[in-house]
Chains A and B, each alone.
Chain A
Amino acid sequence: MIRSRNPRIDVDELERRIDAELARDPDAAGGDERLARLAATVHARAIESQLNFAEQRSTPRSTWPVDLHVPFISSSERLKKALLSIMSLAFHDQYEANNALIRSQREMLALVQTLQERIDTLESRLETERATTRAQRIAHRLPPTVATAAPTVATTASPTVIPSPSTTLRTGSVEGPPPS
Chain B
Amino acid sequence: MKVAIVTPWYGRELIGGAERLAWELAHALVRAGSDVDVLTTCCRSFLDDWASNYHRSGVSNDGTGVVLRRFPVDTRDRVAFNRANTVLTTMPRISLRGDHNVLDAVQTRAFVNENIHSRALQAHLSEAGSTYDAVIFVPYLYGPTLSGVPLVADRAFLIPCVHDEAYAYIEPVRAVIDAVRGVLFNSVGEEETATAIYGPGLLAKSRVIGHAVEPVPPPPAPIAVGSFAPHRSRYVLYLGRQDSSKNIDFLIEAFRTFRERRVGSSLQLVLAGPRSAAHSGDGILDLGAVSESAKAALLTYARALAQPSIHESFSRAIYESWYARRPVMVHGECRATSRAVEDAGGGWIGTTLEDWVRMFAAVDESADEAVDALGEHGWAAALDNGAWDVVARRTLDAIAMRLAPPAGPRIENLVPLGDAGIARYAQSLTEALNASGADAAVSIAGSAHARPNARTIAHVNGASAPVPADIYVAHDGELPAPAQGRPVFAPSHGIAAQLEEAGIVARVLHEAVSPAQWQGLRPAHERWLDGKDVLLSIAPLGADEARRLLDTFVAYLGFVRDARLLVFSEDCEGDAYETLLRERAELDLHNEVVIVGDAPAERYAAYRAAAVALAVGRPLSVASAVTPLWFDLPIVALGDVTVMETIEACGIVADTFDARRMAALVRIVASDARIRAAMVGEGRRVRMRYAPSVVATVVLEALGEPRHTTQTADVGGG
Contact = CB atoms under 8 A, between A and B. Distances in A.
Interface of A: 1-9, 11, 14, 17-18, 21-22, 26-27, 29-30, 32, 34-35, 38-39, 41-43, 45-46, 49-50, 53
Contact of A22 (B557, B648, B661): B661
Contacts of B667: 21
Contacts of A35: 557-558, 561
B263 to A, nearest CB: 35
B588 A45 contact: no
Given A27-B558, A46-B551, A18 B682 contact: no
Contacts of A5: 648-649
A26 B668 contact: no
Contacts of A32: 561
Given A9-B679, A21-B668, A45-B659, A4 B558 contact: no
A77 to B, nearest CB: 21
B665 A6 contact: no
B555 interface: yes
Contact of A2 (B588, B650, B654, B660): B654
Contact of B656 (A1, A7, A29, A45): A1
Interface in B380-439: none
Contact of B555 (A3, A11, A17, A26): A26
26 contacts: A1-B655, A2-B653, A2-B655, A3-B652, A5-B649, A6-B678, A6-B682, A7-B682, A11-B652, A14-B652, A17-B664, A17-B668, A18-B661, A21-B559, A21-B667, A22-B660, A26-B558, A26-B664, A29-B558, A32-B561, A35-B557, A38-B554, A38-B557, A38-B587, A41-B554, A53-B656
B580 to A, nearest CB: 15
Interface centre among B558, B561, B588 (most CB of A within 10 A): B558
B551 A14 contact: no
A18 B664 contact: yes
Contacts of B561: 29-30, 32, 35
A4 B653 contact: yes
B46 interface: no
B681 interface: yes
A40 to B, nearest CB: 10
A88 B678 CA distance: 47
A174 B641 CA distance: 61
A167 to B, nearest CB: 31
B547 interface: yes
B547 A45 contact: yes
Contacts of A34: 588
B651 interface: yes
B657 interface: yes
A41 B82 CA distance: 58
A45 B586 CA distance: 14
B559 A26 contact: yes
A41 B655 contact: no
A46 B661 CA distance: 10
Given A8-B678, A9-B679, A32-B561, 20 more contacts: A1-B656, A3-B655, A6-B649, A8-B682, A9-B678, A14-B668, A17-B668, A18-B664, A26-B559, A29-B558, A30-B561, A35-B558, A38-B557, A39-B557, A39-B558, A42-B554, A42-B555, A45-B659, A46-B660, A50-B658
B649 A42 contact: no
Contacts of A18: 661, 664-665, 668
Contact of B652 (A4, A29, A45, A49): A4
Q: Which 5 A/B pairs are nearest by Cβ-Cβ distance?
A: A26-B558, A8-B678, A21-B664, A38-B554, A1-B655
Contacts of B658: 46, 50
Given A2-B665, A21-B559, A49 B657 contact: yes
Contact of B651 (A4, A7, A26, A45): A4
Contacts of A41: 554, 587
A4 B678 CA distance: 11
Interface string B588-602: 100000000000000
Contact of A6 (B587, B657, B679): B679
Nearest to A38: B554
Contacts of A14: 652, 665, 668, 675
A177 to B, nearest CB: 34
B682 A45 contact: no
Given A6-B679, A18-B668, A42 B659 contact: yes
Contacts of B654: 1-2
Contact of B660 (A1, A17, A42): A42
B558 A6 contact: no
B266 to A, nearest CB: 35
A29 B663 CA distance: 14
Nearest to A26: B558
A43 B561 CA distance: 17
Interface string B237-278: 000000000000000000000000000000000000000000
A8 B681 contact: yes
Nearest to B679: A6
A3 B648 contact: yes
B265 to A, nearest CB: 31
Nearest to B665: A18
Contacts of A50: 658
Nearest to A27: B558
A47 to B, nearest CB: 10
A9 B634 CA distance: 12
A30 B561 CA distance: 9
Contacts of B648: 3-5
Interface string B353-393: 00000000000000000000000000000000000000000
Nearest to A25: B558
A174 B44 CA distance: 75
Nearest to A43: B660
A80 to B, nearest CB: 21
Contacts of A45: 547, 551, 659
Contacts of B660: 22, 26, 42-43, 46
A50 B682 CA distance: 33
A38 B660 CA distance: 12
